[in-house]
Structure 1
Amino acid sequence: MDETLFGELKRYVEWGPDDEEALRRLHAVAVPEFGRISEVFYDRILSHAGARQSLTGGESQVGHLKITLQAWLDRLLAGPWDEAYFELRCRIGRYHVHIALPQHYMFGAMNVIRRELNDVIDRRYLHDPPSLAAARQAAGKVLDLELAIMLHTYREDLLAQAARAERLSTFGQLVGSIGHDLRNPLGVIETSLYILRGRMGEDERAKKHLDRIGDQLGVANGIIGNLLDMIRNRPLARARVALEPVLRAAEESVKRPPGVEVRLDGLEGLPDALGDALQLRQVFVNLLDNAVQAAAPAGSVRVEARAADGAVEVAVEDSGPGVDPNVRRRLFEPLITTREKGNGLGLALVKRIVERHAGTIAYAPRDGAGARFVVTLPTR
C-alpha cells in the first residue's frame, strides 16, 4: 500500500509510539491549562492590529474562538493521529486560506502555542527530567506536523491559483477572438429583423416569431457582453455610491415570476460605498437574477444590508435548493454553473467586479435550504 502524505510527514519527523504515549500523558496534565492558553493566545492577537484584522467574525466572536481553540488543543494532545486527524487539520488549513489569513500570522500563532505548551511541560515535569524531555520532544514533533499540514493547504491554494490563472488566460484569448467575430453576424440579424418587422403587416403569428428572435438576440448579445467584460479591464468611475438606489434599481430590473417574493431590508442609513455605481448595479442584478431563478416558481428572495467596520455588507439569499457542495470551491470560476440553462459567467463577473472594488464575495449555505451570497465593500 502506498504511503500517504501524512505517513510521510510522520516518518520525516521520526514520529513513533513513544511520542503518542508522551502526548497522552501530557494531555492528562495540560487539560486544566487549556482555558488559560486560549486567553493568552487571543490576548496576543487582539494586541496586534494586523493579526486582529484577520479574525473572522471580528472581536465579537473571540469567545467562540477560544472554545474552538481548546477543542483543537484537546485533539492535538489526545489523538488519535491518524488519517482522520490529517483531514480535519487540512480542513482547518483550507479555512485559513479561504479567509486569506497571512502565513506569517499562522506561524506566529503556532509559536504562541509552542511556547505555552513548553511552559506547561516545564512546570508539570519539573522533578521528572525523563518525562520532561519526552514531552518536549513529542510536543515539538506534533506542532511541526501541524505546521507542515497548514503549509500543505497553502501550497494547494497556490497551485490552484496558478492553474486558474492559466485557464483564464486561455479563456480570455478565446473569448476575445470569438466575441468580436460573433458580434458581426448578430448585427446583420438584428438589422434584418428590423426590416422584417416593418414589412410584416398584421400577421400575428409571424410577429410572435419575430419577437422570439429578438428576445434570443438580446440573450446572445448579453452573453457576449459578459464574456467580453470578463477579459477587459473597464476603468472604474470611482465615486461615493449610495447603495440604496443601486439595490432598488437592480431589484426593479430583474424579471421574476409572480410566485417569487423579493424583500429589501436594512437599506436606510447605509454608509456610502466607494466605487462605480453602474458596475455595482451589475453585481446585484446578477446575484438577484440567480436568486430569483433559484427560488422560482414559488419562493422568496431577501436582500439584507448592514454597516460593518469600515465596510458595508450586502447579503442576497434565496429559498431555493442551495449549491451542491462539490461545486462550491469553483463557484466563482468562469463556465461553472449549477443552473440548467446557465452559462457560468454571472458569478465569475460578479467576483471580478467586487474584487476590483477592493471588496469580497463569499457563499454561505443557509440553515435548512437555499443559498446566501455576502458582498463586502469598503466605505473608506
Structure 2
Amino acid sequence: MEETLFDELKRYVGWSEVDERALRALHASAAPHFPAVAEVFYATILGHEGAKRSLTGGESQVGHLKITLQRWLDTLLRGPWDEAYYQNRSRIGRYHVRIELPQHYMFGAMNVVRRELNAIVDDTYRTSPDALKTVREALGRILDLELAVMLHTFREDLVAQSARAERLATFGQLVGSIGHDLRNPLGVIETSLFILRGRVGADERVKKHLDRIGDQLGVANGIITNLLDMIRNRPLVKERVRLEQVVAGAVDAVMRPEAMRFRAEGLAGLEVEGDPGQLRQVFVNLLSNAVEAASPAGAVSIAASREDGRITVAVEDSGPGVDPAVARRLFEPLITTKERGIGLGLALVKRIVERHGGSVAYEPPAGGGARFLVHLPA
C-alpha cells in the first residue's frame, strides 16, 4: 500500500505505538487542565496586537474559540492519529490561509500549547523520570506533526490561491476586452428580433423559431453578465437580511420540474448582515445546479442551522454527485461538470460568500448526490 503524506511525516518524526500509548495515558491527567490552557492561550493572543487582529470574529468569538481549542487538545492526546485526524488538521491550515494569518503566529501559538502541556507533564510525572522522558518525547513528536501538517496545507493552499489569482487576472483582462464587443452584436440581434416579431403574422413555425432566438439571446447575455460579475468588485450594500426571504426569492427564480421533490427547513428566524441581491445570486446558482443535477424526478433540499456564531445553509440534491477528480477545483472559474456549462456559477458563489466573510464547500453526502455548504457569520 502506498505511503500517505501523513505516514511519511510520522516516519520522519519517529512516531510509534509507544508515543500513542504515552499520549493516551497523559490524556486522563491533562484533560481537566484543558480549560486553563485555553485561557492562557487566548490571553496571550489578546495581549498581542498583531495576533489579536487574526481573530476574524474579534474578541466576541473568543468564547467559542476556547471550546474549539479544548476539542483540539482532546483529539491531540486521545487520537486516533489516522487519515481522518490528518484531514481535520489540514482544514486548520487552509483556514489560516483564508484569514491570511502570518505563519509566524502559528509557531508562536504552538509554542504556547507546548509550554502549557509540558508543565502538566512535568507535574504529572515528577516522581517517574522514565515515564516523564517518554511522555515528553511523545508530546514533542505530536506537536511537531501538528506544525508539519499545518505548514504543508498552508503552503499548498497558498500556492493554489496565488495560481487562482493569476488565472483570475488573466481571465479579467480577457473578459473586459470582449464583453463590450459581444454586447453590441447581441443588441443588434435583439432589436431586429423585436421588429421581426411584429411582422411575422400568424405563422406559428416562424414564431417558434423567433422564440428560440430570443431564448438563446437570453442565455448569451446571461453568460456575459456572469463573466463581468466575476471580474467586478461590486460594492456590498449591506443590511440586516432574513435568510428565509433571500432563499425564497432564489427558489422562485429557479424553474423546477413538477415531479421534483423540494424541501426547505430551518431558515425561519435566521439573519445575517449582507447584500440581499448578491446573497440571492448565491442561492440561485446553487439551486440551479441542484435542480439540473436531480432532474427530472429527483429531490432537492435546503437546510439551515446556527451554531457557534455562524449560520450554515446546506443545498443538497439527489443527482449523480461530483467526480472526486474535479471536486477540489469546483470553485475555480471555467471548471464545470456540465455538458453545456462554462464553469462560472460556483466561482461566483465562492467570490460572493467570501466577500461576506463566509466560506463555501462541497461535501458528498453518504447516500449519494451532492451537498454544498454555505457558512456565513451570524
Which TM bucket (shorter chain)?
0.7 to 0.9
CA contact (8 A) 1:267 1:304 kept: yes
What displacement does 1:265 show? Answer: 1.6
Q: CA, structure 1 residues 356+339, in 2 after alignment: closer, same or farther (shift >3 Å)?
A: same
Moved more, 311-320 or 293-302: 311-320
Q: Confirm or deny that 1:185 pairs with 2:185.
A: yes
Q: CA, structure 1 residues 275+325, in 2 after alignment: closer, same or farther (shift >3 Å)?
A: same
What displacement does 1:276 show? Answer: 1.8
Q: How many residues align?
A: 356
Residue deviations 1:132-185 (CA, integer Å, cap 9, x gap)? 667756754664354234212211111111111111100110111111111111
CA contact (8 A) 1:114 1:143 kept: no
What displacement does 1:222 show? Answer: 0.2
C-alpha distance in 1, partners of 2:70/2:169? 44
CA contact (8 A) 1:122 1:132 kept: no
Q: CA, structure 1 residues 54+292, in 2 after alignment: closer, same or farther (shift >3 Å)?
A: farther
Question: Residue type of the partner of 2:37?
Answer: R
C-alpha distance in 1, partners of 2:84/2:244? 42
What displacement does 1:364 show? Answer: 2.2
What displacement does 1:357 show? Answer: 2.0
Question: Residue type of the partner of 1:318?
Answer: D
Moved more, 112-121 or 256-265: 112-121
What SS does structure 2 have at the residue aligned with 1:199? coil
C-alpha distance in 2, partners of 1:55/1:339? 43
Q: Confirm or deny that 1:278 pairs with 2:271.
A: no
C-alpha distance in 2, partners of 1:310/1:132? 40
CA contact (8 A) 1:26 1:121 kept: no
Under a length normalisation based on structure 2, what TM-score does the superposition of the two structures give?
A: 0.79
CA contact (8 A) 1:227 1:345 kept: yes
* Map 1:1-380 → 2, pairs under 5 A: 24-25=17-18, 27-41=20-34, 43-45=36-38, 48=42, 53=61, 59=67, 68-72=75-79, 75=81, 91-100=87-96, 102=101, 104=105, 108-109=109-110, 111-113=112-114, 116=117, 120=121, 124=125, 140=140, 143-271=143-271, 273-379=272-378
CA contact (8 A) 1:41 1:112 kept: no
Unaligned runs of 5+ in 1: 76-84
Moved more, 213-222 or 103-112: 103-112
What SS does structure 2 have at the residue aligned with 1:374? strand
The residue that corresponds to 1:80 in the other structure is: none
What displacement does 1:252 show? Answer: 1.0
Q: CA, structure 1 residues 71+275, in 2 after alignment: closer, same or farther (shift >3 Å)?
A: same
Residue deviations 1:274-312 (CA, integer Å, cap 9, x gap)? 222222211111111111111111111112233445443
Based on CA coordinates, which of the two structures has the bigger radius of gyration?
1
C-alpha distance in 2, partners of 1:333/1:142? 34
Q: CA, structure 1 residues 93+67, in 2 after alignment: closer, same or farther (shift >3 Å)?
A: closer
C-alpha distance in 1, partners of 2:17/2:305? 47
CA contact (8 A) 1:89 1:146 kept: no
CA contact (8 A) 1:283 1:350 kept: yes
Q: CA, structure 1 residues 6+299, in 2 after alignment: closer, same or farther (shift >3 Å)?
A: closer
Moved more, 181-190 or 116-125: 116-125
C-alpha distance in 2, partners of 1:295/1:269? 28
C-alpha distance in 2, partners of 1:275/1:333? 23
Moved more, 62-71 or 257-266: 62-71
What SS does structure 2 have at the residue aligned with 1:256? coil
Residue deviations 1:99-123 (CA, integer Å, cap 9, x gap)? 4485535752465256535754786
Residue deviations 1:21-48 (CA, integer Å, cap 9, x gap)? xx65555455322233345346533673
Q: CA, structure 1 residues 276+143, in 2 after alignment: closer, same or farther (shift >3 Å)?
A: closer
Under a length normalisation based on structure 1, what TM-score does the superposition of the two structures give?
A: 0.79
Question: Residue type of the partner of 1:239?
Answer: E
Moved more, 301-310 or 245-254: 301-310
CA contact (8 A) 2:22 2:134 kept: no
Q: CA, structure 1 residues 141+44, in 2 after alignment: closer, same or farther (shift >3 Å)?
A: closer
CA contact (8 A) 1:41 1:113 kept: no
Q: CA, structure 1 residues 58+343, in 2 after alignment: closer, same or farther (shift >3 Å)?
A: farther
Residue deviations 1:3-37 (CA, integer Å, cap 9, x gap)? x99999899x8x6xxx66xx655554553222333
What displacement does 1:369 show? Answer: 1.4
C-alpha distance in 1, partners of 2:145/2:242? 49
C-alpha distance in 2, partners of 1:242/1:8? 48
Unaligned runs of 5+ in 2: 47-54
What SS does structure 2 have at the residue aligned with 1:156? helix
C-alpha distance in 2, partners of 1:268/1:88? 34
Q: CA, structure 1 residues 7+331, in 2 after alignment: closer, same or farther (shift >3 Å)?
A: closer
C-alpha distance in 2, partners of 1:313/1:227? 27
Residue deviations 1:221-260 (CA, integer Å, cap 9, x gap)? 0000000000011122222223322221211110111121
What SS does structure 2 have at the residue aligned with 1:144? helix
**% identity of equivalent residues:** 55
CA contact (8 A) 2:175 2:227 kept: yes
Question: Residue type of the partner of 2:362?
Answer: Y
C-alpha distance in 2, partners of 1:63/1:69? 10
